[in-house]
Amino acid sequence: MVKVAIMGHGTVGSGVYEVFAMNAEKIARVAEQPVEVKYVLDLRDFSHLPYADKFVSDFSIIENDPEVTVVAEVMGGTGAAYEFTKRCLNAGKSVCTSNKELVATHGEELLAIAKEKNVNYLFEASVGGGIPVIRPMMQCLAANEIREIRGILNGTTNYILSEMIHKGVSFEDALKQAQANGYAEKDPTADIEGHDACRKICILSDLAFGDKFDPNAVSCEGISKITLTDVEEAGKLGYVIKLIGRAVRCEDGTAYAYVAPHLIPKNHPLAAVEDVFNAIMIDGNATGDVMFYGKGAGKLATASAVVADMLDAIAHAEKRRPVEWGDGSKN
Ligand code: HSE
C-alpha cells in the first residue's frame, strides 16, 4: 500500500481525489499496489464530504508522516505552495503539481532540491491541463533540437474567443461561463491578460531551450481588448483570432518567447481548436511539427495529469526521473 497526500481541495484538488476514487482499481494495477489518499490539506470546512476524516489543516502532519511518500500540490500560487513544496522535497517526498505559477518562477530551484534529495518534482499538469506535452517533449522528442513551440495554452481565453466568434456572446458573458465551468483562475485577470499562457510558454521554453525565461520579463498581451467587431472583421478576411504563446530558437542558439493574440488563417490546424481545448505545436528538427491537442483546463482533465505524475513518482520511488531544467537543449 502506498500513501499519498493532496495539498489543496479546490477545483483540481477535489478532482485528484475523485480520480483516485473513480479509478482505484486501475491505479492499483499501475502502481502494483493499492494507493490510499491519507490526507487532504485545506483550511476550509469540508465536514459534509464522505471523506471528511482525511482533511487536515496542519501541513506538518503531512511533512512528518514517513508513510506519505508522494504529495500533490494543487493549492496554486507561490506563497504557502512554495514553502510546502520545498519542505515536502526536503522531507524526501516527491511532489506532483499543476501549479504553473510556481513551476514558472521557482521550478529550477525545486528541481535542484528534488535532485539533491533523490525524489521527483513533476509538473505535467502545469501546461495543457490533461494533455501530455512535457513528458513527450522531454522524452519522445529528446533526439530533436526544438526549433519552435507555439500554441493555444489557455482554455479560458480560447473558450471566450470561441463563444465570441461562433455565438456572438459578449466577452463578459463568455468569461462568466468559463468561470462557472471551473476553467478560469481564481483571479481571471491571469487568464484574460495572458499571464497564465505566459507562465506555460516559459515552462516549455525553459525545458526546451535551457535558458531561464522569466514570466515577468516575457512580452505578454491578452485578449481583454478584443471586441466582437474585431472577431467579425477577422472572420470576413478568412481568419480567427487566437491567443498564442510562442517560443522560437534563433540561429545563434538564443531563444525568445512571447504571448499575443494572432490572426490565424481558418484552414490552419490551430484555428480548429475550440472551446476549452488547447493545442501545442512543437517543431523538432527531425520530426517537423508535432501537435498535442486536448482539454487544457477543467477539474478531471487536469487531475488526470497530476495523478499520472503521482503514479510515475511511485514507480520511480527508487530512481528519480531524469528531468533537468533545460536538458532539452544543452549539447
Ligand atoms: N485557467 C487555466 C486555463 C487553467 O484556463 O487554461 C488551466 O491551466
Give the tens place of pLDDT for each residue, 229-249.
999 999 999 999 999 999 999
User: What amino acid is encoded at 269 in this protein?
Assistant: P
- pTM exceeds 0.85, yes or no: yes
Nearest CA to ligand 1 atom 7: 297
How close is the Cα of 133 to the center of ligand 1, in Å? 15
**Stretch 168-180: mean pLDDT, rounded?**
95
Neighbours of 172 (CB within 10 A): 8
Q: Cα dist. 74→42, 60, 102, 198, 303 in Å?
A: 10, 17, 11, 19, 9
pLDDT band at 321; cut points 50, 70, 90? low
CA dihedral 199, 259, 217, 97 (to 10 degrees): 0
Q: What angle do CA 41, 102, 108 make, to 5 degrees?
A: 125
Neighbours of 90 (CB within 10 A): 14
Active site residues: 200
pLDDT band at 319; cut points 50, 70, 90? low
Q: Cα dist. 277→228, 293, 301, 306, 321 in Å?
A: 21, 7, 11, 18, 28
**Stretch 265-273: mean pLDDT, rounded?**
98
3-state secondary structure of 256: strand
Residue 317 has pLDDT above 90, yes or no: no
Q: What is the model's pLDDT at position 325?
A: 66
Distance from C-alpha of 237 to C-alpha of 243, rounded to nearest angstrom: 18
Q: What is the model's pLDDT at position 214?
A: 95
Q: What is the model's pLDDT at position 128?
A: 96
Residue 36 has pLDDT above 60, yes or no: yes
The alpha carbon of residue 287 and the mean position of all alpha carbons in its chain are separated, in whole angstroms, by 24
Pocket of ligand 1 (CB under 6 A): 129, 154-156, 183-185, 191, 196, 296-297
pLDDT digits (tens, 9 = 90+) for 68-112: 999 999 999 999 999 999 999 999 999 999 999 999 999 999 999
The alpha carbon of residue 70 and the mean position of all alpha carbons in its chain are separated, in whole angstroms, by 18
How close is the Cα of 190 to the center of ligand 1, in Å? 9
The mean of the pLDDT values for the chain is 95
